[in-house]
Amino acid sequence: MEVIEQVREGMHVVASDGKKVGKVKDLKMGDPEAVTAEGQTDPETGGLVNTGIAAFAATSKLPHHTAERLLRVGYVEVDRPGLLTGHAYFAADDLDRVEDDTLWLKAGLSGDRHSE
């Protein structure tokens, strides 16, 4: 079972050294068949399919290529503690394990992985 499949909203998130990063606000399972930034054509209309990448990039304030990758592999959105700290986004392959009600990040990652 993939780590992201064990994640639930509200879980505590910690770095590999045990430092608190925040709490899981949202998550999305990956879609390996997700459309790339170039788009894909709708076979019926011949027009480009709206992929939602641009919308996610805009709302998350992430670069377009980062948003595209997160949608493809899956991600966890973490609400960081404190005022004016915003959210951080971690790709499914950044997640190490789930123990009890805690999501552990892989070594070398901190609370500012993909931040808004």
Helices (H), 1-116: 53-60, 64-73
Task: Give the rounded distance of the alpha carbon of 71 from its chain centre.
Answer: 7
For the chain, 116 residues long, give each residue's pLDDT as a single digit of tens: 899 999 999 999 999 999 999 999 999 998 766 655 455 555 566 555 555 777 787 788 888 889 888 988 999 999 998 766 788 999 999 999 999 999 999 998 766 666 55
Amino acid in the structure at residue 110: S
Give the max Cα distance, the chain: 52
Instruction: Enumerate domains of the chain plus CATH numbers.
Output: 3-115 (2.30.30.240)
